[in-house]
Amino acid sequence: MACSPSLRPRLLSSFFGDRILYSAVPLRSFLHLHAGNKQASVQLSRTLCNLADLLFNRRDKDDLLNNKRKRLQPGNVSPCLEVPDHIPRPPYVNSRQSPGIAFGPEIHDERGIECMRASGRLAAQVLEYAGNLVKPGTTTDEIDKVVHQMIIDNGAYPSPLGYGGFPKSVCTSVNECICHGIPDSRALEDGDIINIDVTVYLNGYHGDTSATFLCGDVDEGAKKLVKVTKECLDKAISICAPGVEVNRIGKTIHDHADKFRFGVVRQFVGHGVGRVFHADPVVLHYRNNECGRMVLGQTFTIEPMLTMGSTNPRIWADNWTAVTEDGSLSAQFEHTILIIENGAEILTKC
C-alpha cells in the first residue's frame, strides 16, 4: 500500500483515517497478535494492494496527466459547529483517541431494533436532503452546516463530530477522495462526483449511510463507476441472511467489480454498528477466506469503495482524507442492515 512515509500499511475501518483498526475477528493473514490482549492490530500486505493495481488500473500515467480534471486540493476548514447541551453525546466525544472496533457483534432485542430503525431512518433522510444540495458552486462546508442543523433539529448527534478529533459533522469525499473527506471551502464543480457519508446518534444508537452523487454534467465513465458501485452494494445485501458467511459479501462485490474492471479498495472496511459506532464484524469488501457467519438480529454496514484506477490510498496531512494515489475517481455507497429471518432489512432507507 502506497502511503506517505509517516504511515504504515493498515487495514482501516470506514471511519478510521490513519488509525489502527482493532478487532477480535481472526484475520489470520493480516494479524499481529498481542499476547494477553483480546485485541489485535491489523496490517495489510503491500503485495495485495500492488497486485490489485496491476489487475485493475486501466489508466496509464499519461492519461491521468492529460485529464482536464484538476487534482483535489485542501480548502479552508471552518470552526466546529456547536451541539446543544441537551443532546446526548457518544462516549468518545471530547477524546481525540479513536475508540477502535468494539469486541463482539451488535445484536439487538426488539427495543434495540426499533431504535436502530429510527436512527437509520433519520440518517437516510439527512442523506437524501444533503444530496439535493449537490450542484456546481455549493461548498462542502455548506453541506456540512445543513447536515449538522438537520441532525440536531431532530434531537440527534452527528456521529463523526469529535470522533478521534474529526472536526466536522459529515464526510464529503469528492472525485479521487476515497473516503473521510473533511468539508471545507472548496466549491463543487460541474462534472464532479461526491460521496456524502452521514451517521447520526439517536437515542443511544448509530445509523450509518452514504451515497455518491453526480454534480452537473458528469462524464459517462464516472456515471458508470457510480452505477456499478451501487450495484455492488445492492448485490452484497441481497445475499445476507442468518447463517451466511460474512466473507460472501467480499466475493459478491469483487466479482461484480471485476466484470467492469474497476478496482476494489481493500484498506477500508464495513463494520458492526449500533450502540457503538464501530463493532465486530469486520466486513471486507474483497475476496477473502475469513471466518464468521451472520446472526439473527445483528446490524452492520456494507460500504464498498470502487476506483477507476489505483486502489492505493494516500492520506493527506489532515490525517483523515484518503485519496487515490494516481488521482483516479472513486465512488462509495453504504447502508446499515439488520439480519432478519428471511434475509436483510435495509435500515438506512427513507
Q: Phi/psi class of residue 277: alpha, beta or left (left: φ > 0; alpha: ψ in -120 to 50)?
A: alpha
Model confidence band, residue 286 (pLDDT cutoffs 50, 70, 90): very high
**Residue 2: inside a domain, yes or no?**
no
- What is the C-alpha to C-alpha distance for residues 263 and 260, in angstroms, rounded to an integer? 9
Q: pLDDT digits over 177-207, tens only?
A: 999 999 999 999 999 999 999 999 999 999 9
Q: What is the pLDDT of residue 43?
A: 33
Which one-letter DSSP state was computed for residue 139?
A: B
Q: pLDDT digits over 334-343, tens only?
A: 999 999 999 9
**Residue 4: inside a domain, yes or no?**
no
Q: pLDDT digits over 42-79, tens only?
A: 333 333 444 444 444 444 443 443 457 899 999 999 99
**Residue 7: inside a domain, yes or no?**
no
**Residue 232: inside a domain, yes or no?**
yes
**Residue 317: inside a domain, yes or no?**
yes
Peptide bond into 281 cis (omega under 30): yes
Annotated binding site for a divalent metal cation: 197, 208, 271, 303, 334
Q: What is the pLDDT of residue 14?
A: 52
Q: What is the pLDDT of residue 99?
A: 83
Q: Are 236 and 302 in contact, with CB atoms under 8 Å apart? A: yes
* Structural domain for 177, as ranges: 12-346
- What is the C-alpha to C-alpha distance for residues 10 and 212, in angstroms, rounded to an integer? 25
Q: What is the pLDDT of residue 123?
A: 98
Alpha carbon 218 to its chain's center: 22
- Tally of CB atoms within 10 A around 97: 9
Annotated binding site for substrate: 180, 278
Q: pLDDT digits over 13-52, tens only?
A: 555 433 333 333 333 333 232 333 333 333 333 334 444 4
Model confidence band, residue 100 (pLDDT cutoffs 50, 70, 90): confident
Indicate the pTM of the whole model.
0.84
**Residue 68: inside a domain, yes or no?**
yes
Q: What is the pLDDT of residue 96?
A: 73
Who's near 220: CB < 8 A, 6+ residues apart?
none
pLDDT tops 50 at residue 277? yes
- What is the C-alpha to C-alpha distance for residues 319 and 321, in angstroms, rounded to an integer? 6
Annotated binding site: 180, 197, 208, 271, 278, 303, 334
Q: What is the pLDDT of residue 33?
A: 29
Q: What is the pLDDT of residue 262?
A: 98
**Residue 300: inside a domain, yes or no?**
yes
The number of domains in the chain is 1
- What is the C-alpha to C-alpha distance for residues 231 and 254, in angstroms, rounded to an integer? 11
Q: What is the pLDDT of residue 24?
A: 33
- What is the C-alpha to C-alpha distance for residues 53 and 47, in angstroms, rounded to an integer? 10
Q: Phi/psi class of residue 270: alpha, beta or left (left: φ > 0; alpha: ψ in -120 to 50)?
A: beta
Instruction: List C-alpha distances in Å: 28 to 88, 107, 239, 251.
Output: 38, 24, 24, 18
- What is the C-alpha to C-alpha distance for residues 164 and 92, in angstroms, rounded to an integer? 8
**Residue 28: inside a domain, yes or no?**
yes
The domain that holds 268 is classified in CATH as: 3.90.230.10
